[in-house]
Amino acid sequence: MGRRPHVLIIPFPAQGHVTPLMKFAYQISDHGIKVTFVNSDFIHEKLVAALPDEDEARSRIGLASIPDGLGPGEDRKDSLKLTDSIFRVMPGHLKEFMEKVNNSNDDEKITCVIADSAFGWALEVADKMGIKRVAFCPFGPGSLALAFHIPRLIEAGLLNSTDGSLLNDELISLAKDIPAFSSNKLPWSCPSDPNLQKVIFQFAFKDISAMNLSNWLLCNSVYELDSSACDLIPNILPIGPLLANNHLGHYPGNFWPEDSTCISWLDKQPAGSVIYVAFGSLAILSQHQFNELALGIELVGRPFLWVVRSDFTNGSDAEYPDGFTERVAENGKIVSWAPQEKVLAHPSVACFLSHCGWNSTMDGIGMGVPFLCWPYVVDQFHNQSYICDKWKVGLGLNPDENGFISRHEIKKKIEMLVSDDGIKANVEKLKEMTRKSVSEGGSSYKNFQTFVEVMKQ
């Protein structure tokens, strides 16, 4: 019996990055691999606070943390400040942490580092320490394939080398089956914040170089869903969809406590009747847009489950339209965070009004739920192109002349979506495809098994 493999996993400190890596951590721990999951101190505290005290999940994998360089009261929503601090401070702390672990017990030495693809520096730290390296991509293969093509696109005069903006009005088409990228669908596109766009693009450029240090590149996707993009990416191993619903207890990857009362509420609703509305962890709406969304959901007249985070409107508590909560009390349920996989798997859910983050996209497809798309930032706009144009499992929303999505547009599109049998049939086919991929003999199943075997060598 050889030494037990010990994998250190480090995600970028955002919910959409922690979620898939935590699901993956649980999957490999089920196969006898010791896992230490390293967050920033700030994110670690949020995760632990969201877990019930008695939760058995705490003992399944090791939860550890290192400083991100910002003090307790500093603004972590200032992306430029946070990113600068992370890249300055965390590499040194990670190296110290790994040396401490490796010096404390010969049998517990870290044998592999799995780093978020946004944390190329962590792969560099592992490389210098002579430890196996794996990059994990938390977004879809289409966006990743574009990132790998950055050097060639700059050389061809299509992309600006400073901020990644398109140099002319041409669309970027990587392959026939990959939706083309327009200027507002580039994963680093931030029209409202040019400085942030520059930073995101430069890191994407740098991280692709660092990923060349990795022995493997894991992705939360299914090869058959996007084979054209996967074929453009060296060493990619699609292992999705990563699901947490086969684990007992509470899922320890949330920044907010899950409100599980919504499941018993769903049990009381008719099959295929409920609109599920959830915008992930980052989207923020203006008060006016929030009101239009609330009144649009109300106008439909169907039961709805709506996830409203405490910072959903301009970073603070939402104010509902006058009388709204009283009027919808009988057929509406509002929670601050939901057990999303369980919600989407529930037979009463009819459709998913989503921001199109990659995790939510994989959750919705894996559970066979049609999408109403409302993308907010980065790769979400290109994910919408897959959902609506390539896979044909959802509809998009069109803003009015003032840039707002009106209550009438929301009502119209929800009614179109829930009555579209073609979309329902398409999403059912994709659900079946993803189920096959993770079942014995499927592509994701085989990729995962191959990876686990290599980790144990």
Q: What is the CA radius of gyration of the chain?
A: 22
- pLDDT for 249: 52
The answer to whether residues 189 and 240 belong to one domain is yes
Domain presence at residue 284: yes
Query: Which domain range does residue 58 map to?
Result: 6-248+437-455
382-401: per-residue pLDDT in tens? 999 999 999 999 999 999 99
How many CB atoms lie under 10 A from the CB of residue 53? 6
Q: How far apart are CA 281 and CA 339, in angstroms?
A: 13
319 DSSP β-pair partners: none
331-352: per-residue pLDDT in tens? 999 999 999 999 999 999 999 9
The answer to whether residues 162 and 277 belong to one domain is no
The residues, ordered by sequence, that sit 6+ positions from 401 with a Cβ below 8 Å of its Cβ are none
The answer to whether residues 86 and 232 belong to one domain is yes
Domain presence at residue 167: yes
- pLDDT for 3: 78
The answer to whether residues 243 and 288 belong to one domain is no
Indicate if the pLDDT at residue 15 is higher than 50: yes
How many CB atoms lie under 10 A from the CB of residue 86? 20
303 vs 201 pLDDT, higher one: 303
- pLDDT for 213: 83
The answer to whether residues 214 and 315 belong to one domain is no
- 321 neighbors 294 (Cβ within 8 angstroms): yes
356: left (phi over 0), alpha (psi -120 to 50) or beta: left
CB half-sphere exposure, 182, CA atoms < 13 A:
7
- 332 three-class SS: strand
Q: Which residues of 135-166 are buried (b: 16+ CB within 10 A; e: fewer)?
A: bbbbbbbbbbbbbbbbeebbeeebbeeebbbb
Indicate if the pLDDT at residue 315 is higher than 70: no
Q: Where are the alpha helices (DSSP H) in 56-137?
A: 57-60, 79-104, 120-128
| pLDDT confidence band for 2 (50 / 70 / 90) | low
Domain presence at residue 238: yes
Q: Which helix (H) or strand (E) holds 414?
A: helix 407-418
Peptide bond before residue 339 is cis, with ω within 30 degrees of 0: no
Report which DSSP code applies to 160: -
Instruction: Give the predicted TM-score (pTM) of the model.
Output: 0.93
The answer to whether residues 314 and 174 belong to one domain is no
Q: How far apart are CA 276 and CA 303, in angstroms?
A: 9
Indicate if the pLDDT at residue 53 is higher than 80: no
How many CB atoms lie under 10 A from the CB of residue 12? 21
244-300: per-residue pLDDT in tens? 765 545 567 888 888 989 999 999 999 999 999 999 988 889 999 999 999 999 999
The answer to whether residues 197 and 269 belong to one domain is no
Considering its fold, how many domains does the chain have in total? 2
Reduced DSSP (H G I as helix, E B as strand, rest coil) percent helix, strand, coil of the chain, to 5: 45, 15, 40
Report which DSSP code applies to 68: -
267 vs 310 pLDDT, higher one: 267
What CATH number did the domain enclosing 58 receive?
A: 3.40.50.2000
Indicate if the pLDDT at residue 215 is higher than 70: yes
Domain presence at residue 188: yes
- pLDDT for 203: 80
Indicate if the pLDDT at residue 204 is higher than 90: no
- 371 neighbors 250 (Cβ within 8 angstroms): no
Q: How far apart are CA 268 and CA 331, in angstroms?
A: 10
Crossing angle, helix 120-128 and helix 79-104, to 10 degrees? 30
- 452 neighbors 4 (Cβ within 8 angstroms): no
Of 180-184, 238-242, 302-306, 436-440, the least confident: 180-184
The answer to whether residues 123 and 243 belong to one domain is yes
The answer to whether residues 376 and 449 belong to one domain is no
Indicate if the pLDDT at residue 207 is higher than 90: no
DSSP string computed for 275-286: EEEE-TTT--B-
Report which DSSP code applies to 320: P
Indicate if the pLDDT at residue 139 is higher than 70: yes
- 43 three-class SS: helix
Domain presence at residue 427: no
The residues, ordered by sequence, that sit 6+ positions from 378 with a Cβ below 8 Å of its Cβ are 139, 187, 188, 189, 190, 200
The answer to whether residues 148 and 273 belong to one domain is no
Indicate if the pLDDT at residue 150 is higher than 60: yes
- pLDDT for 256: 86
Report which DSSP code applies to 112: E
Domain presence at residue 428: no
| pLDDT confidence band for 1 (50 / 70 / 90) | very low
Q: 């240090």: which residue's tokens?
A: 213
The answer to whether residues 66 and 23 belong to one domain is yes
Average pLDDT on 399-421 reads 96
- Reference 169, options 157, 156, 183; nearest CA is 183
Q: How far apart are CA 62 and CA 68, in angstroms?
A: 19
Average pLDDT on 179-189 reads 89
Ranges assigned E (strand) in 347-393: 349-354, 371-373
Domain presence at residue 127: yes
Q: How far apart are the first and last CA of the chain?
A: 11
Domain presence at residue 426: no
The answer to whether residues 275 and 351 belong to one domain is yes
64-73: per-residue pLDDT in tens? 999 998 888 8
- pLDDT for 248: 46
Q: How far apart are CA 7 and CA 38, in angstroms?
A: 11
